Structures are given as structure tokens and as C-alpha cells.
Amino acid sequence: MKNNKQIKYLINSSVIIVGAVLVTVLLNAVLVAFDSKIPLKVSLTRDEIYELTDETKEIVDRVTDDTKIVVLYNGQTTEDMMLLTDIIEKYTQRNDKIKMETVDFANNPTDLAPYSEAIKSISNPHYAMIFAQGDQFDTAEASSYISTEGTSNIERIITNKLASFVDGFKISSITMTTGHGEKTNSGFESVLKMYNYNIKSVDLLKEDIPADEKTLVVINSPTGDFSAEEIDKLDAFLDRGGNVQIYFDPLASNAELPRLESYLANEWAIKRNHGVVVDMSNKLESAQETAAKYGIMALAELTDSEIVSPIKTSKRSVLYSASNSLEIAGDKPGTVEITPVLKTSNNAYLKDVATIGENQTSDDKSGTFDILVAATRKAYTLNEEEFTGKLLVSGSGYTMDTLIGDTRFANEDLLLNSINWMRGSEAGITVRAKELPQGSLTMPNSQFWPWFIVLVVFIPVGICVWGLVVWMKRRYK
């Protein structure tokens, strides 16, 4: 009788163990089979780095032709490689027209033959991507999407590249003025190119802004003045509903811009003050830069403007450096509406460029200053057709330039939001950079040891005691 019970328990245990193993193997096989088609992984990272944004999904769903994303690597599978392929899988799962291929160019160089033309535009093939659709192709090197500052631009780059293959998707253009000592190849332009904007240039002395082109004109830190003819062209462009952004460089002491500044003051009621803003109460304490030490690099106060409203909601900050103040004149034209976007604190004061770093004196004008303003102006044709021109004026060319790459602050969002405000539905793709998850979890000793005792001592001992009790009951039953 006793032997029969032992045999019964043995058979039952064996059946349960074998059944559990078979179920596990079968479930694993099913998950592996469907993993390429169904997103089974859930992103638990703070920035949802493994999830596609709604904007990306909209672009991916519009890809109707077979498209291949080819990832080049040197035979070594690293964390960067796994992160890249995991994110690309989200695209292939979303749309079966998109396929991924990995090519080991170090060990299998012949596999690159179909992409010989694309390879010519790649300087560093390691982790570079080739996007191919029919006879069209585009490329992206690792330097454009792998950041050393703890952020990932992978989704942003892939989505923008795929958008160029989508029928009916219009690449937005930004036109930079030239001929007045404007900054070129700036951080401003680098960010816009990353978002797939088409950067053009125009010399207003020699050519007009195309009347049928709804571009956005940017005047980036000019050191030479505009002629009366050029001012007239800008004004006419704004009258027909154009968009213009103007950035001043307060440290360019030799820059004389009387005609441009007079136009802003008389036609838009926006006056540029030439003193440099100093705000010691909002200065960036952790920075070692001289600009921060002297208080000319500081955190801006965000207004209720729709341009910065999303930034306020997300509780992020905007950093500015070396800015003039902007004054809104009381006698503005009735067709003009002006909204401050960025301000200083009420402890700020103005210094001449030559006296930056010196203590505040009673002669220094103090108070709250506007450093970025947005304005609209309505104009009417003879047929009473209404157009609204939009103008953005910044006292600092550095806010959207050298500081735009600092991911601790929302300067990049500020730039993109300003373009969206101007362009509306015609704005480009605005997939943001995402914060990479940190590799370790920091926990104080007061929390570590209780969890260690529970997980390493109490739970294992409890399981052993429970197993011993069950065994004793069965052994002596």
C-alpha cells in the first residue's frame, strides 16, 4: 500500500514537471514565431525609448512600397547595436512593407554590393544605416543618432528618413538670409537638417523671396545692415502672410543695424536695447563658463505664450546667453499684436558690452526685460483678402545656436515650437530626442539592507521550510 502511494506521487510529480516543461517550450516557440510581427516587448523606460510616437506611427502607416533599413556593423554586437535593432523592429512590426537587414561589412564585404552607390556617401560605416526603396536611397551615420549626452536620436532620424519616401509628404524649407555677415553652419541649421528641413539661402540684394513659396525666412545674427530695398522685400513678404525670425548678436559691438532696427520699431513697435542682460539671480550655478559666472547665461522666465506653453507643462527650462532686451513700444499699429515669449527675472539689469563682469551700478537700468517676443500683423489686399504675417525677434542669437544642443534644457523644443506656431499644419516632423535609460539603480543603504534581507534571506528560507513541511507530511502520512 505504501509503495503504491509512492508510485502515485512519483507519477503525478513527473507528469506535472513534464507538462510544465512542454508548456514553457511551446509558449517560447510561439513567442519567438510571432515576435517579428507582434510587439511583445513593453518599454518601461521614462521616455518610452522603445515605443514609437504617434507622429512616427502616422508616417510609418503611409509607407506603401517595400522599404529596407540596412544596418552596417563590424561583426560585434554591442548595446548600441541591440538598441538600434530593437527600435527598428518597432517599425517593421508596425508596417510589413518595412524590412530590416544587418550587414557585417568586416566579415562579409560582398554583401554591400547592392548598396555600392549609397556607401559612397558614408564616411564611417560602423552602425550606419541605409534606407532603400526601389532606386531611391538615403543614409544616416551613427554620429547623427548616437549621442554622448545620454539621449537617443534613433527614432527621430529613422522617421525623418522614411518620410522622404512617403508620397505627398512635403519637405518644409527654411531660408537663411546672406550678405550681412550672418552666422552660417550654426547649431540652428544642424538641428533643422536633423528634422529634415530643406535649408536654402537668399541674397535679398540680388533676388526676391518667391511669392508662391511659403517658406520661413531667418535672419541669424547679422553684423551688417539691410538696405531699404531689402527691408521692403521683407515687409512685402510679411504682408502676404510670410514668416520671419530675427536673431541679434549682442556681443557684436561693431554691428550697426539702424535700418533693420528702425523697421522693427516703426512698423512692429519692437525696440532693441543694446545693453546686455545680466541676471545673477537666475544664472546657471553649475556652469563653469564665463558667461554664467557674469550672469549673462541664465535661465529664462517662461510666459503664457503658446510657443512655450508645452515647455512649462513639462516643467522644463530654457537657457539663454548674451541677450539684448526688447522693448514693446506703447504706440503700436492697430494691426499688430505682440506677445512676450521669454523674460528675465525682476532682478536683471543691463550692462554695456565693455563693462560685462563689473558690479551693478545705479546707472544700470534694472527690472524685468523681454528677451524673445512673437508678433503678428494683419494685412488686406484690394479684394479684402486677409493675410497674417508672423515675426519672432530674439535679443540673443545664442539661445537657438550654441545652447541648442544642451539636452538638459528645452531650447530645441523652443525652436521647433516657434516654427510650428508660424507654420501651423505645414510644420515639419518634430520627433524629439529621447533620454536613454541609465545603467544602474541608485539606492541608499537604509533601503538596500531591508530588501536584501527579505529577498536573500526570508524568502529563500521560507520556501525551504515550506518544502520541508510538505515533504514531512507526505513522508510520514
Residue whose C-alpha is closest to residue 155's, from 78, 53, 42, 39: 53
C-alpha distance from residue 164 to each of 31, 253, 355, 432 (Å): 34, 42, 50, 18
Task: Please count the structural domains in the chain.
Answer: 3
Please report whether residue 440 resides in a domain.
no
Please report whether residue 44 resides in a domain.
no
Residues 6+ apart with CB under 8 A from 381: 387
DSSP state of 10: H
The answer to whether residues 13 and 85 belong to one domain is no
**pLDDT by residue, tens only, the chain of 477 residues:** 555 666 666 666 666 666 666 777 676 665 555 555 555 455 445 556 678 888 889 889 999 999 999 999 988 888 888 889 999 999 999 999 999 999 998 898 888 888 888 888 888 888 899 999 988 888 888 887 776 566 778 888 898 888 888 876 666 789 999 999 998 767 888 888 777 788 899 999 999 987 766 789 999 999 999 999 999 999 999 999 999 999 999 988 778 899 999 999 999 999 999 889 998 888 776 555 666 667 788 899 999 999 999 889 888 899 998 899 999 887 888 899 999 999 999 999 999 888 888 888 888 899 999 999 999 999 887 777 889 999 999 999 888 887 887 778 889 889 989 998 998 754 455 676 666 665 544 455 566 677 778 777 778 888 887 877 777 776 666
The answer to whether residues 25 and 71 belong to one domain is no
The answer to whether residues 141 and 211 belong to one domain is no
The β-bridge partners of 318 are none
pLDDT at 395: 94
Q: Domain of 361?
A: 173-434
Among 167, 198, 223, identify where a domain stops: 167
C-alpha distance from residue 266 to each of 220, 270, 308, 333 (Å): 21, 8, 27, 9
Please report whether residue 451 resides in a domain.
no
The answer to whether residues 238 and 377 belong to one domain is yes
Cell of 454: 527579505
Please report whether residue 27 resides in a domain.
yes
Distance CA 375, CA 367 (A): 22
pLDDT at 372: 97
Residue whose C-alpha is closest to residue 403's, from 325, 341, 319, 344: 319
Distance CA 248, CA 394 (A): 6
Distance CA 470, CA 11 (A): 17
pLDDT at 44: 47
Among 167, 198, 213, identify where a domain stops: 167
The answer to whether residues 276 and 332 belong to one domain is yes
The answer to whether residues 177 and 92 belong to one domain is no
The answer to whether residues 311 and 418 belong to one domain is yes
Distance CA 102, CA 71 (A): 5
Strands 270-278 and 434-435: unpaired
Residue whose C-alpha is closest to residue 218's, from 237, 195, 240, 232: 237
CATH code assigned at 70: 3.40.30.10
Please report whether residue 469 resides in a domain.
no
Please report whether residue 244 resides in a domain.
yes
* 130 touches 137 (CB < 8 A): yes
Distance CA 275, CA 369 (A): 11
pTM strictly above 0.75: no
pLDDT at 18: 66
The answer to whether residues 90 and 19 belong to one domain is no
The answer to whether residues 132 and 225 belong to one domain is no
The answer to whether residues 109 and 205 belong to one domain is no
Please report whether residue 442 resides in a domain.
no
pLDDT at 440: 47
Please report whether residue 270 resides in a domain.
yes
pLDDT at 470: 75
The answer to whether residues 240 and 285 belong to one domain is yes
